[in-house]
Amino acid sequence: MDKATAARAIKKLEDAGYVYRQQDPEDKRAYRVFVTEKGRSLEEKMRKIALKWDSTVFSGFSKEEKQLQTAFL
């Protein structure tokens, strides 16, 4: 993912109220991104989606292949 794509994604999340940006006090060129309460309210739902996606993607893998894959993450 390039910088422009990341910036657009963060801007959309910010506009929707899921995150907010704050200028880094030590480096004025950088911004820190924080999750809002609205964003935190989606945590469990997103976790379930991620687990389902993981299960679907790795459904044909053996146990050993799955373990090997997680070693790279």
Write the pLDDT tens digit of every residue in 14-53. Answer: 999 999 999 999 999 999 999 999 999 999 999 999 999 9
Strand-pairing partners, residue 32, are 22
Q: Is 51 exposed, middle or buried (0-12, 13-18, 19+ CB in 10 A)?
A: exposed
**pLDDT reading at 73 higher than 70:** no
This prediction has a pTM of: 0.68
The pair phi, psi for residue 72, each rounded to 5°, is -90, -10
Find the mean pLDDT for residues 52-63. Answer: 88
Domain ranges of the chain: 1-39, 42-73
CA distance between the termini of the chain: 17
